[in-house]
Structure 1
Amino acid sequence: MRTWTADISFALRQLRKAPGFALLAVLTLAFGIGANTAMFTVMENVLLRPLPYAGASRLVAIQPGPGTDSPQSTSWLDYRDIRHGMKNIVDVAGYSDDLAVVQGKDTSTAVAAPHVTPSLLTMLGTRPLLGRTFTSQEGLAGGPQVVLLSEGIWKKVFHADPDIVGKVIHISSVPHTVVGVMPANFGFPENEGSSTRTAVWLPLQPTHAMLTKRGYSFFLILAKLHPGVSMAQAQAQLQQVSKQLADVDHDPARDGSFTMVSYAKTVVGSTRPVLMGLFAALLLVLLIACANVANLLLARAIGRQQEFAVRVALGAGRARLLRQVMTEGAVLSGLGCVAGFALAAAAIESVHKLPPDTLPRMDAIHLRWTVVLVMAAIATFTTVLSSLLPAVMVSGADPQATLQSASRGVGTRSVRGKLTAWLVMAEIALSTLLLVGTGLLARTMWNLEHAWLGFQTTRLTTFQVTPPDAVGFSGMSVSSGTGVPPASVAVLSYDPVLARLREAPGIEDAAYTTMLPLTNSQIRSSFSVVEHPAKTHHQPQALMTAVGGDYAKLMGTPILRGRMINPDDTASAPPVAVINEEMAKKYFAGRNPIGEHLDLGGKDTGILVPPVIVGVIGNERTTSVEEPAQPMILLPGDQIPTTSLFYQALVDSFQNFIVKTRGNVPVAREVRDVFHQQAPGFALDTFQTMQTVVNQTTFNQRLGLDLTASFAGLAILMVIAGLYGVLSQFVGFRRREIGIRLALGASRQQILRMIFRQSLLLAGYGLGCGLAISLLAGRLLRSFLYGVQPFDLPTYAGVLGLLLLVSVAAAVWPAKQAASVDPMTTLRMD
């Protein structure tokens, strides 16, 4: 123990004697270890750590069709039959995402309001903070109106009232009895992000439409496997149930197949490949850091060969020298780890400052001791391994030869030169791979930011409006009443609000739409063209949205044919519709769609009169910038019958209002005043500019580019340090040769060219290997790119030019040192 203490003390003294070397090695390790620790922490919490539910690894989502990593809805009838048919699962439950308005004493708050079957909460195994969860009777059609509150909404709206259980509150203007409060760590469904931290949960009580129409698909299915049952076994039984459903359904338009997907995968979604890609980039940085530290240690060991030779001549054993060098590596590793973990902690704090829901499960991301210990072990192993090669080399050298060669400034030049050159070439090759990836992502980002989205964003502000009596998707049904239908909220509230908004100071125009571009709020419906019915049983589908005001003019969306919906399309006017360019191309190829009628379901949906197509507008990006446009039907909000499913889905659920300001000024106060006067009780939230909506859509790509660029920048700095170190050693060990060359008549320009040639030679070999690896790995980046190919010639040319420039810059000072060698002084030292 005393010997090890002495070794550590001696190692610290040696590092204090070479502060430049120690600082560079520690910083290199710190950046490599810190960045990887932060990224592994994010991955461990987001991808690896189980969800906070009992038996979370056995939770599976049952989806129609082949299955994806995002939630896919089906019908209540499918849920009922799957639940009855599956025998190797603990239970099957269901839920639907929804919105509702919680009415407090003074405020109305729009919140996430998932409707869940009572069995779901039992299956998840989460106990309420107060009260109880739902009973089976509360999940039946016509059951009692009850609600579970989140801890967040309990504190925010009801001021943490300890006697809240049993009280009656109003949810979307309907009295509900509070039966419980869920704890803060309960956020089902997890893919909804932070909105579920201030949510309410309602029992899913099937409506008549849900109980009678298998095509009514607003329902998601979750199941839990029995312990010991594999996904493959459960999937095999699910296929048998799917065949039985197909025999019962007799609907050729439905695929009929179902697939099981891990519920955790649906929570993470498309984040997984992004995090894996960033982690791979950071592993490259760690490898470059290890190569750089190995090069530094090798150079230091070579510089101390005479010292080690003297110690061996005085009786020190080779094992003792080996242990000493390894101890210095371990001390460097420890210092690098401490600094790296400090950087990792700061990086994790920065993650929590990102916009909400940038990453799934963001609130669970914390630096844990398990991650710290794993990364410390990896860092220690890599650093000690980096120390091993120089330690073996110096301990195995012949002390007599070393001492004899000291006076001439030569030694194991060939071995040293090859090792350092290989390490630097490895750094350059790995940096090339990082730079190519960064360049491709930069081209992608430029393409995304300059893509035509189908609308303009200048001076546009948007906000979401939820009516106080919003039924939500889970309560939708076609009214069968024969009396006078209720008045439309679009006529009673939205139209007067639009008129007042246009008169408000600072507002030039206003409109609304159910489906705001780039927000991924999609409602689909099947349709048929009355004049050209489909020849197959597979009815086409399109996105549906209700609009009010002069939406196309406000958004700057071009009108390609006919006209746009305008304020004259009132409830008493003939029903009209507008379609987008993609729908016209896909379903009306070769003919003019103007004047044709769309059958939107008739009695099944409550749209009894087919609207006539009066216009075609340009495509708008609906889900993301890189996703192509989808067929879309726009209907006037005023004309959608209040007895139809479309009214409840497109008009009375929520609306996205857009106002065009007269300057870049905030208008939230004016908007709230107008709604307070014209539509009291409506919940308003999510005020943001349309440019912010666009920026949020590309935020993940921008973040990925910024991180990758920072990794690449760090790699370039390491390459510069590595090349500088190698060339400086090259000059130092060939100083006598350079002096002789100068004495024999070589010009200083020739000496400069020799050093620059050596640098370019190292860079050339590294670049060749790096470009070859990049070409092989390019196809892995294809899913992250937009508007650029993985083998983009300008990107490769740019990387080539940059690294050649870096190699020249790294050689400037060593070349200057070589050219300033005094031949007479050098020869006298011989």
Structure 2
Amino acid sequence: MLTDLRLALRHLAKARGFALIATFTLAIGIGSSTAMFSTLRALVMHPFDYPESEKIVQVWSGDGWPLSPADFHDLHEQNTSFTDFGVYQPGSVNVGTERAQAVAGVRATSGVLRAFGVQPFRGRFLEPADEVEGAAPVAIVSYGLWQQTFGGTPDLVGQTVRLNSRNVTVVGIMPADFEFAAPWMRTQDCQVWTPYIWGEDEREQRDSHYLCGVARLHNGATVGSADAEIKSIGTQLTALYPDSNTRKEFLVRSLHYEMTNDVGGQVWLLFGAVALVLLVACANVASMLLARSAQRQGEFGVRVALGATRSRLVRLALTESLVLAALGATVGLAFSYGGIEVLKLIAPTSEARKAAIALDAAALLFALGATVLTTLLAGIPPALAAARTSLVGVIRSDARGAVGSRARHHMLRALIIAQIAVAFVLANGAALFSASYFKILEQNQSLSTDLVLSAKLNLRSDAYDDNEDRVRFWSKLTEHLQAIPGVTSVGLTSKLPLEGGSNTNALVNDETYDPTQRRTSVERSSVTTDYFATMGITLLQGRNLTATDDMTEDGHLGVVVNRAFVEKAWPDKSPIGEIFRANQPEDPWYTATVVGVVENVRQWSATAEPQPEMYTTPPRHWGETVHINLRSTQPASFLAPQLRAAITELDHELALENVRTLNQVVNDATAGERAVAGLVNFFMVAALGLVAVGLYGTLSYHIVQRTREIGVRMAIGAMSGDILRLVFGQGLRWVGMGIVIGIAGTFALSSLLTSVAYDMDGITALPLSLSTAAVGTAAVLATWIPAWRASRLNPIQALHMD
């Protein structure tokens, strides 16, 4: 074996150009697939590292529907499946005083952190006694917050810190590698856990759903058995509370499913795309090795004459492939390291998940497996050709060795056609995802502007416990912001478009309350009167909101609704003056009169269909968190310092977060789709480049093999154009066959492609045309150069060529 390795290294040293191209070709395939495998493992296959993580589950009132306080307490008391069960509510936390910073945090019951099975690095968990109203305020902080904000103070546990303008005692610090995996906080790293203090009568609420439930299974319990038990308890609750629980379908799902379901399909798709690139790279190197083996027929013939067996020839060919694969893997690991850093930048996930995307032992083991696979895929075709070496055939061949075997030519053609077909499938996927991404941007175009600056502000502190205090603060802030030079309008809202929502059920027209019937779900937003003008949302009918809409003369709310609400509730008449109310048996918390209609904006995500929505004036509905929006006549990013100064002037312990333009809001909301489209396009370009190199090399090899034939043709009268058409036509036939097979492969994979591409119902003419153009252009360029060189051959030199 060592002799074979030395021989392979000598041969490659003599053909440095070939060795360099083959090494970098395999490096692209192995490096990109290793980087993508690391991403797949971190985001889908092994997204967290908790003790017995398969026992951690999420508990819902329905598919992604949070729990109500009363339902949680009933489930907590009656279940036998969980050792620990708690609920939490995400929210921002203002840390510090003069230079307060906003960090992600949760209000959690005592069972939440215990369910993850990770002990605090220092201190203790939250306890049930911490949840009692009037208890001393406490908190647990993350290791990162301890180090970065509190300077790693050794005795932080037991000390008092300032959180949300309150003095809070730190009772615990979580470990450095602990990650709070929460479906509602996929892109955030939780830094603070405070106890959930149950408000007066809150434990009895069943109509309000805002608590995310997490639990750890008992030994012997399974997700299925726990789900069955929770459903059984839910059936009993429906019988006891038909008005509130009739349509609730309680369920239990694994935390792994909840954290990977949304991204799993796209990441697996990208891994499949990069696997295709690896296949193209292997086929490319196999074709180059196959062409090289034709030049070694004389050498192989001599070896056969001296007694070499076929297995010996196969081993020689595979050894050369192994050396190239090893070199490719070495360079590929450097590529994969750079690729991982790029993936960390574009992956729409939390910093903790990004840190898990690494060139670790699992990734290195995958790279080793990819190297072995590459050795076989790239080495088998030339090995088979070497095994067919016949001493008689070598002796009978032309002394110049100008003609290769028919089997080798067929194998080369098959490899090139296969590469073109795979590249076509990738090109079609790239066209499909690019079209999908641009469609998403087009549908959210009304929000894509740099003239509006947006920021979030949290008022969780004792100073703003009363709604009246919050209303006064927002009124003062609006006055300060309107006075900033360059600001044309200020709009406040309880929730920003594209980032989630809050909804209620409504009775419209002649509907009456019936707990067994599903009524219209309506998104609910509290906004100031200048909100629509600030955001650029078009008023379609009626009028804008006014301050008096908080309560009209007949005791109703004056509300503005969106077009989706009108199309669902009043498709054939004017909605102005129509009345709807809350879907409750008596004393609804609102009865509303429609005063205006505005254009739709997407609420839950950039791809979610617009839902019926109502906008109300704020005084009755302000919560603790509000989104501030400033419109300017110039790019609004320059307003950020003035905005921070205005907040500090009113309350220096408040911290702004997510300060960005609306254009950045749209970019953040479409980050996942943009990353997928960009990566598929990158893989497509890599595949096309490899195909072009392979096609160019194979045609060049054929020209060398047919040099004397071309010389004869030109000697008997063939013109340069005839030779050009001959060689160019041969290449185009291969390209055409590859595209036809690629079209068939694309349609075979159409259901998979369209299932993960937004708003794509099937393979259409546009992506097929773009794919054909991309593959055809690369192939034509790769084919034209060797064809042009063949047409410029000197017939005298060709006939005398040895």
Please tell me the TM-score bracket, short chain as reference. Answer: over 0.9
Label 1:531 to 1:814 Cα distance change in 2 as closer, same or farther (>3 A).
closer
1:516 aligns with one of 479, 482, 496: 496
Matches within 5 A, 1:363-374: 363-374=355-366
The question of 1:424 aligning with 2:416 is answered yes
Label 1:603 to 1:388 Cα distance change in 2 as closer, same or farther (>3 A).
closer
Label 1:791 to 1:715 Cα distance change in 2 as closer, same or farther (>3 A).
same
Per-residue CA deviation, residues 492-511 of structure 1 (Å, 9 max, x unaligned), is 12122212212212322211
Distance across 1 between alignment mates of 2:187 and 2:214: 20
1:51 aligns with one of 44, 48, 51: 48
Q: Secondary structure at the match of 1:114?
A: strand
Distance across 1 between alignment mates of 2:194 and 2:43: 28
The question of 1:613 aligning with 2:594 is answered yes
Per-residue CA deviation, residues 433-469 of structure 1 (Å, 9 max, x unaligned), is 0001111112222222222555462411111111252
Q: Secondary structure at the match of 1:637?
A: coil
Matches within 5 A, 1:340-355: 340-354=332-346
Label 1:21 to 1:189 Cα distance change in 2 as closer, same or farther (>3 A).
closer
Label 1:817 to 1:79 Cα distance change in 2 as closer, same or farther (>3 A).
same
Q: Which residue of 2 aligns with 1:81?
A: 74
Label 1:360 to 1:616 Cα distance change in 2 as closer, same or farther (>3 A).
farther
Label 1:15 to 1:677 Cα distance change in 2 as closer, same or farther (>3 A).
same
Q: Which residue of 2 aligns with 1:480?
A: none
Q: Secondary structure at the match of 2:443?
A: coil
Q: Which residue of 1 aligns with 2:457?
A: 465
Distance across 1 between alignment mates of 2:81 and 2:552: 56
Q: Is the 8 A contact 1:116 1:201 kept in 2?
A: yes
Q: Which amino acid aligns with 1:87?
A: T
Q: Which residue of 1 aligns with 2:264?
A: 272
Distance across 2 between alignment mates of 1:315 and 1:533: 95
Matches within 5 A, 1:668-707: 668-707=640-679
2:565 aligns with one of 583, 592, 617: 583
The question of 1:165 aligning with 2:151 is answered no
Which stretch of the first structure deviates more once superposed, 424-433 or 245-254? 245-254
Q: Which residue of 2 aligns with 1:630?
A: 611
Structure 1, gaps ≥5 residues long:
476-484, 641-646
Matches within 5 A, 1:30-41: 30-41=27-38
Q: Is the 8 A contact 1:444 1:786 kept in 2?
A: yes
Q: Which residue of 2 aligns with 1:745?
A: 717
Q: Is the 8 A contact 2:189 2:352 kept in 1?
A: no
| CA drift at 1:98 | 2.7
1:659 aligns with one of 623, 630, 640: 630
| CA drift at 1:312 | 2.9
Distance across 1 between alignment mates of 2:141 and 2:268: 36
Q: Is the 8 A contact 1:742 1:823 kept in 2?
A: yes
TM-score (norm 1): 0.90
Q: Secondary structure at the match of 1:696?
A: helix
Q: Is the 8 A contact 2:509 2:569 kept in 1?
A: no
Which stretch of the first structure deviates more once superposed, 445-454 or 689-698? 445-454
Residues matched between the structures, number: 798
| CA drift at 1:407 | 1.6
| CA drift at 1:50 | 5.4
Distance across 2 between alignment mates of 1:246 and 1:436: 50
Q: Is the 8 A contact 1:454 1:621 kept in 2?
A: no
Matches within 5 A, 1:752-791: 752-791=724-763
Per-residue CA deviation, residues 316-356 of structure 1 (Å, 9 max, x unaligned), is 44443332222111111110000001100111122333477
The question of 1:24 aligning with 2:21 is answered yes
Q: Is the 8 A contact 1:402 1:411 kept in 2?
A: no
Per-residue CA deviation, residues 88-137 of structure 1 (Å, 9 max, x unaligned), is 443433222233333x3423333333122212222322222221112232
Which stretch of the first structure deviates more once superposed, 686-695 or 448-457? 448-457
Q: What fraction of aligned residue pairs are identical, expressed as a percent? A: 28
Per-residue CA deviation, residues 214-240 of structure 1 (Å, 9 max, x unaligned), is 222111222222344433333333332
Distance across 2 between alignment mates of 1:93 and 1:486: 28
The question of 1:732 aligning with 2:719 is answered no
Distance across 2 between alignment mates of 1:604 and 1:141: 30
Q: Which residue of 1 aligns with 2:468?
A: 487
| CA drift at 1:780 | 1.1
| CA drift at 1:550 | 0.9
Q: Secondary structure at the match of 1:517?
A: coil
Q: Secondary structure at the match of 1:565?
A: coil
Which stretch of the first structure deviates more once superposed, 761-770 or 786-795? 786-795
1:256 aligns with one of 243, 248, 254: 248
Per-residue CA deviation, residues 184-208 of structure 1 (Å, 9 max, x unaligned), is 3333244455876462212223334
The question of 1:233 aligning with 2:225 is answered yes
Label 1:106 to 1:685 Cα distance change in 2 as closer, same or farther (>3 A).
same
Label 1:782 to 1:174 Cα distance change in 2 as closer, same or farther (>3 A).
same
| CA drift at 1:576 | 2.3
Label 1:145 to 1:603 Cα distance change in 2 as closer, same or farther (>3 A).
farther
| CA drift at 1:570 | 7.0
Q: Which residue of 1 aligns with 2:536?
A: 556
| CA drift at 1:637 | 1.3
Distance across 1 between alignment mates of 2:177 and 2:423: 42
Distance across 2 between alignment mates of 1:308 and 1:635: 85
2:505 aligns with one of 518, 522, 526: 526
Q: Is the 8 A contact 1:63 1:259 kept in 2?
A: yes
The question of 1:15 aligning with 2:12 is answered yes
Q: Is the 8 A contact 1:186 1:197 kept in 2?
A: no
Per-residue CA deviation, residues 514-561 of structure 1 (Å, 9 max, x unaligned), is 1111122x1112333597645775443311111124111122211122
Q: Which amino acid aligns with 1:558?
A: T
The question of 1:711 aligning with 2:680 is answered no
Q: Which amino acid aligns with 1:93?
A: G
Distance across 1 between alignment mates of 2:551 and 2:774: 64
Q: Secondary structure at the match of 2:638?
A: coil
| CA drift at 1:709 | 1.1
Q: Which amino acid aligns with 1:128?
A: P
Q: Which amino acid aligns with 1:582?
A: A
